[in-house]
Amino acid sequence: MLSFRRVRTRVLLIAGLIAVVMTVTGGSLLIVRSRVRRNVERDLSADLTQSLITFQNLQRQRREALIHENALLADLPILKALMTTSDRRTIADGAVGLWRVAGSDLFGLAESHGRVLTVYTQGAPPSHDLNQKLEQIVGQPTKHYLASDGRLFDVSVRPLYFGDEIHGTLLGYVISGYRIDTDVIGLISRASGDDAAFFTGGTILAGTLSPNHLQELARQRSSVVSAAGGQISEVSLGGQKYLVTETDLSGESLSELHLVVLKSFDQADRATREINQLVLLLGIGALGFGSLLMIILSRIVTQPLEALARGVHAFGMGDPSHVPPTSGPREVQELSGAFARMRDEIQVTNRALLDAERLATIGSMASSVSHDLRHYLAAVYANAEFLSSSHLASDERSELLADIQVAVDGATELLDSLLILSKTGTAFHREHGSVLKIAEKAISLLRSHPEAEGVTVHLNCDVESDASAFVDVKQMQRAIYNLLLNACQSAHCTDGARDVVLSINVNDDAIKLRVTDSGPGVADQIRGSLFQPFVSNGKQSGTGLGLTLANAVAKEHGGAVTLVSSRPGETIFELSLQRNFPGNNPKVAPDTYARRAKGGTIQ
């Protein structure tokens, strides 16, 4: 699913407007195109039907003129006198002058029995087929279209009488006609405004279209519906669309004859394109104006929202100084006011929580350290009181003074532990030292602690390599000491063997110290808060700062203290540190006292 989390509201509004305008414009174009196309086809169909009627009427008028001219020829005395000779040659010679006077494309004379005596045509000379068809037309007065030798003629036959038509003698027939060619069809087409063509079968006799279009029309005539059904079809000629209707003239012709009338879509397509362009321009104008308007409106709406979002983000980052917007729509102002009130309430609540947490921390710290601190102070006070006695021997005074010094050192160590938690990395003073040496020193100090009595501490270094690193020797010693002391305290809680093992593993980049004890393990309820200050469970003494301090020191050396595993009989803590943590000085010479060791044991 598309995610809008990173998209600005302004962009969404403008994109929505563009989508709406484009959809409306595209839909309008489709609807307009469909409606215009339907109306154009209806109008063109009506025009085409009317054009066919006009074409037929004009053709009928030309035929009536031809009949009238032929009737005038039949009344000429010279023609009647010529036909009375009954001599074929004489009639042929005399007909030439009459043909020139008539000026028709076809002129002929036939005897009374219908046999053609002579025929003259413009262009190509008459063929035998033409003579035969003329004789058929003489015998069939209803036929007047004649197709022969690739030419189409409209023919009129008029009988010649010696005397009047009722009582006179039939001398023969005068035949005249004109050729229906491209020029003739063109005259009629210009009057009707459409194109036309005559076909006999699959043969083109004449037409106003180009030869290529006529040939293409001849191939597609199988899909053109016959006009006998009064239907109109659509064809494409040379990439141009036409409406086509066809009428059958075979009843007026000696052979199959069809008249095809075509009306082009060119003008209608131009009008449709103009309408589409107008709608498209209107859509583009609406898109531009709408986008400008939406940008203005979106800025009015989104700018206050963006300012409010910046204020929320700044407040979340701890900057409460950002002023919420006071302008914008009513809803934004209400939201801004609600945020301002919520921010003030959160600040008040946070201050109260911080105060309460500070007091709780102070109380927890005081509760944790008060016992030990009172113990040290009580020891100092009691031993000091004993020292005031004049009956003590010098060795007894020395022993009391040593106890006082131990108590003072313990109190100082306790205070130092508290102070370390508040120090930063700048308080650490790193130098090149041996971690193995530091661990041995920590074990040595551990021996004098009461919690280490009865616990066996083992030191193992598995690799024979230089276990040196850039460390704060004093703080690292304190961290290792705290881990070992924590392990000893845990080991004291078991009835079996009380063992603590410190293992040192060294590689090129880091050193890992593992402290394993045989105690009962870490309680489940404190595993999630082991490294928090003042966390302790079931110990009779201690501040709960040992692991916290060790972890803080490890982090200052690029590592950490982690609980690797814990179960009855085996608990493992691991302290890791980087040998050359950033900020250390790698040019310092290695410690001369670094040594290799396989391991050791102390009691």
The domain that contains 522 carries what CATH number?
A: 3.30.565.10
Lowest mean pLDDT among 39-53, 94-108, 255-269: 39-53
Looking at residue 595, what is its pLDDT? 35
Q: Is pLDDT of 323 > 50?
A: yes
Q: Please check whether residue 215 lies inside any domain of the structure.
A: no
Looking at residue 361, what is its pLDDT? 61
CA–CA dist 513, 189 (Å, integer): 109
Looking at residue 155, what is its pLDDT? 92
Q: Is pLDDT of 392 > 90?
A: no
pLDDT in tens, 188-226: 777 667 888 888 877 888 888 888 888 888 877 765 544
Looking at residue 576, what is its pLDDT? 93
**What percent of the chain lies above the pLDDT cut of 70?**
83
Domain boundary (155, 179, 203) is at 179
Domain boundary (115, 145, 179) is at 179
Q: Please check whether residue 113 lies inside any domain of the structure.
A: yes
Q: Band of the pLDDT at 359, cuts 50, 70, 90?
A: low
Count how many domains the chain has.
Answer: 2
Report how far apart, in Å, the C-alpha atoms of 33 and of each of 139, 141, 280 are.
Answer: 56, 51, 12
Q: Please check whether residue 585 lies inside any domain of the structure.
A: yes
* Helix ranges, 75-144 (H): 77-84, 88-102, 128-139
Average pLDDT of the residues in 77-97: 86
Q: Is pLDDT of 228 > 50?
A: no
Looking at residue 596, what is its pLDDT? 34
Q: Is pLDDT of 7 > 70?
A: no
Q: Band of the pLDDT at 600, cuts 50, 70, 90?
A: very low
Q: Please check whether residue 143 lies inside any domain of the structure.
A: yes
Nearest Cα residue to 47 out of 269, 261, 248, 220: 261
Average pLDDT of the residues in 307-317: 78
Containing domain of residue 130, as a range?
Answer: 75-179
CA–CA dist 590, 167 (Å, integer): 156
CA–CA dist 116, 173 (Å, integer): 9
User: CB of 564 within 8 A of CB of 398?
Assistant: no
In terms of pLDDT, which residue wins out, 533 or 398? 398
Q: Please check whether residue 536 lies inside any domain of the structure.
A: yes
In terms of pLDDT, which residue wins out, 104 or 193? 104
Looking at residue 572, what is its pLDDT? 93
Average pLDDT of the residues in 427-454: 82
Q: Band of the pLDDT at 252, cuts 50, 70, 90?
A: confident
Q: Please check whether residue 436 lies inside any domain of the structure.
A: yes
Looking at residue 364, what is its pLDDT? 60
Q: What is the CATH number of the domain that holds 170?
A: 3.30.450.20
Domain boundary (122, 157, 179) is at 179
In terms of pLDDT, which residue wins out, 541 or 487? 487
Q: Please check whether residue 471 lies inside any domain of the structure.
A: yes
Q: Is pLDDT of 41 > 80?
A: no
Q: Please check whether residue 481 lies inside any domain of the structure.
A: yes
What are 361's two structure tokens? 């921390």
CA–CA dist 220, 214 (Å, integer): 10
Average pLDDT of the residues of the chain: 78
In terms of pLDDT, which residue wins out, 239 or 551? 551
Looking at residue 363, what is its pLDDT? 63
